[in-house]
């Protein structure tokens, strides 16, 4: 049979078996079959019908059809594999343009990274805050188990311990870790530049090849510009002088950007500037275009979006705005593979969008930098803010009013300040001895170290599930956690025990396909209600069936 749009003359050739049963439910079902195109028709009775498969074409073949349908709308197939930038997916050998971001202290665990890789996604191990032995163990396991499958490691900026940052880079270079996610950077550092340019060469065709790749996670234009530009010559000269790279490597490095990919980090958990994704991503895309034109790079730079990705609608919106990939963080922390406690998973599964707040960051405490954390069920944000207020007002712990000192020792430290300092000193004697000498001469710095120690341990208490310290848990979390919980309410994913990172990811991607196709139809017709693109979470087996696997 033939259907024709009388206004435009557009025609479709269809077989009778291609026409679904008339009605709204049949149209919704057709939209969900994301691997097939949808053609909406009206029959001679004015009923809406959906054609399941045949592609629209022009022209007619007389004599083969017995009925005429009027054409209403068409939407092409949109498989989750088709989202994102093709170059990005090829560069990392990915099936899906989806990254599970690096949540520190191993919250983005080895298991999570492995599961992501086997599903055709990219996982970044959360090495921030871990000791070198733990990071090395993760490197060895992932290289052994994943071989040529994609994975990466985090490199978090350590302004108070550049030596740790340098040793971490030494470790990555030693084991030939080829991809890092650079986070919390306010500017470039020598270790970061060293990682990027080490081993850079020209292949037989004259193409410059940088084997070590960086995905930079940024929310400020001035920082993004540094990552999009070639490494600073002052750092290259210093690396050559220290015999860390060759002169040839330094010369070639001037033709490549510091980061080949950039994640625009919107309102996320942990270190964040609480940027609005809808304005941040277009800004970063424009900056990327400007810098690529300036430096005449031969390879494209891909810009993805992280922060707020938690529902099919937010996932669809990211790709619609031009994101090369999406990155998730907070929602993965509530999944069974996350390197955290059952108590934290339970707390996160009950989180609402307004249950988050900014609090002082342990790694940049003296600078006043903040991280976004869970407010509901913990007093960490209030207590850590109180510590920063005392640090700002007083030059030493002894000058804090007696009543406040007693509260700190009783409720925060649960021991005397001196006992807390001795514990802190023991830690730094093993990890960074030089700070002890400075602290013995600088009372304000000594106070800062003790306060930072409380902040560091608060995240450890959460990860280990120390119930005696539940009130002090530091749980990095953005408002996306609340949006996710609202979406999965009443479904099998409402219980955190059922949350697996690949199941969550595939639901976001499949749901985004449905949402996008429904919106495309809504732009062409006005006869359907708002839930045409509603997508409730499905189990992985059901998703695979929906996607035609």
Predicted confidence (pLDDT) per residue in 183-196, tens digit = 999 999 999 999 99
Q: Answer whether residue 412 is part of any domain.
A: yes
Q: Give per-residue pLDDT as tens, 488-516.
A: 999 999 999 999 999 999 999 999 999 99
102/52 same-domain check: no
Q: Are 445 and 438 in contact (CB under 8 A)?
A: yes
Q: Looking at per-residue confidence, does 64 or 403 come out higher?
A: 403
What are the Cα distances from residue 152, in Å, to 100, 125, 127, 212, 532?
Answer: 10, 6, 10, 11, 38
292/173 same-domain check: yes
15/34 same-domain check: yes
Q: Answer whether residue 373 is part of any domain.
A: yes
H/E stretch holding 270 reads strand 270-271
- Interstrand relation of 201-202 and 179-183 (parallel, antiparallel or unpaired): unpaired
Q: pLDDT band at 68, cuts 50/70/90? A: low
- Cα 142 to the center of its chain, rounded Å: 20
Q: Looking at per-residue confidence, does 523 or 231 come out higher?
A: 231
Q: Return the closest-CA partner of residue 345 out of 536, 537, 535, 485.
A: 485
119/240 same-domain check: yes
pLDDT at 3: 54
Q: Answer whether residue 495 is part of any domain.
A: no
Please determine, for residue 65, whether its predicted confidence score (pLDDT) is greater than 80.
Answer: no
Cα 5 from Cα 147, distance rounded (Å): 53
Cα 99 from Cα 108, distance rounded (Å): 11
Locate tokens 């994943």: which residue? 146
pLDDT at 517: 94
301/204 same-domain check: yes
124/37 same-domain check: no
300/322 same-domain check: yes
56/139 same-domain check: no
* Helices within 84-158 (DSSP H only): 86-91, 110-118, 132-146
Longest dimension (CA), the chain: 97
174/253 same-domain check: yes
Q: Give per-residue pLDDT as tens, 309-355.
A: 999 999 999 999 999 999 999 999 999 999 999 999 999 999 999 99
Locate tokens 């409730």: which residue? 536
Q: Answer whether residue 391 is part of any domain.
A: yes
* Residue range(s) defining the domain that contains residue 22: 2-77+506-527+540-546
Q: Report pTM.
A: 0.92
429/453 same-domain check: yes
For the chain, the average pLDDT equals 91
Q: Are 17 and 49 in contact (CB under 8 A)?
A: no
Please determine, for residue 289, whether its predicted confidence score (pLDDT) is greater than 90.
Answer: yes
SS3 letters across 356-402: EEEEECCCCCCCCCEEEEECCCCCHHHHHHHHHHHHHHCCCHHHCCH
Q: Are 427 and 453 in contact (CB under 8 A)?
A: yes
């Amino acid at each position: 049979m033939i259907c024709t749009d009388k206004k435009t003359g557009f025609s479709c050739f269809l077989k009778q078996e291609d026409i679904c049963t008339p009605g709204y439910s049949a149209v919704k079902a057709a939209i969900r079959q994301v691997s097939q195109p949808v053609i909406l028709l009206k029959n001679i009775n004015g009923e809406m019908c959906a054609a399941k498969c045949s592609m629209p074409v022009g022209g007619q073949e007389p004599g083969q059809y017995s009925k005429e349908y009027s054409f209403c709308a068409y939407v092409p197939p949109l498989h989750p594999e088709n989202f994102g930038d093709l170059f990005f997916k090829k560069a990392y050998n990915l099936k899906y343009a989806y990254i599970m971001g690096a949540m520190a202290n191993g919250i983005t665990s080895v298991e999570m990274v492995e599961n992501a890789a086997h599903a055709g996604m990219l996982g970044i191990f959360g090495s921030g805050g871990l000791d070198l032995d733990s990071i090395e163990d993760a490197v060895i396991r992932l290289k052994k188990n994943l071989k040529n499958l994609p994975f990466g490691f985090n490199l978090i900026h350590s302004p108070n311990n550049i030596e740790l940052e340098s040793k971490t880079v030494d470790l990555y270079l030693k084991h030939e870790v080829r991809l890092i996610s650079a986070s919390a950077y306010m500017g470039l550092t020598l270790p970061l530049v060293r990682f990027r340019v080490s081993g850079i060469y020209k292949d037989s065709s004259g193409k410059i090849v940088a084997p070590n790749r960086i995905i930079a996670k940024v929310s400020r234009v001035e920082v993004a510009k540094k990552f999009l530009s070639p490494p600073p010559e002052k750092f290259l000269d210093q690396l050559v002088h220290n015999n860390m790279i060759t002169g040839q490597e330094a010369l070639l490095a001037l033709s490549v950007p510091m980061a080949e990919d950039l994640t625009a980090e919107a309102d996320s958990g942990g270190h964040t500037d609480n940027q609005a994704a809808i304005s941040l991503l277009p800004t970063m895309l424009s900056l990327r275009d400007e810098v690529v034109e300036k430096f005449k790079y031969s390879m494209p730079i891909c810009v993805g979006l992280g922060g707020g990705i938690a529902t099919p609608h937010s996932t669809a919106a990211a790709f619609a705005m031009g994101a090369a990939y999406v990155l998730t963080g907070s929602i993965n922390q509530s999944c069974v593979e996350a390197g955290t406690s059952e108590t934290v998973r339970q707390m996160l599964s009950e989180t609402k969008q307004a249950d988050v707040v900014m609090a002082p960051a342990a790694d940049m405490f003296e600078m006043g930098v903040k991280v976004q954390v869970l407010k509901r069920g913990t007093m960490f944000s209030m207590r850590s803010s109180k510590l920063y207020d005392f640090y700002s007002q007083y030059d030493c712990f002894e000058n804090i009013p007696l009543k406040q000192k007693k509260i700190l020792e009783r409720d925060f430290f649960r021991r005397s300040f001196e006992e807390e300092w001795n514990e802190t000193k023991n830690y730094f004697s093993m990890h960074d001895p030089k700070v002890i000498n400075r602290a013995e001469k600088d009372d304000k710095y000594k106070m800062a170290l003790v306060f930072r120690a409380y902040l560091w341990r608060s995240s450890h208490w959460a990860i280990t599930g120390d119930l005696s310290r539940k009130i002090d848990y530091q749980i990095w979390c953005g408002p996306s956690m609340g949006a996710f919980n609202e979406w999965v309410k009443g479904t099998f994913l409402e219980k955190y025990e059922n949350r697996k990172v690949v199941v969550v990811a595939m639901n976001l991607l499949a749901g985004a396909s449905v949402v996008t196709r429904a919106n495309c139809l809504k732009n062409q017709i006005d006869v359907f209600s708002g839930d045409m693109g509603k997508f409730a979470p499905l189990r992985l087996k059901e998703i695979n069936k929906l996607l035609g696997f």
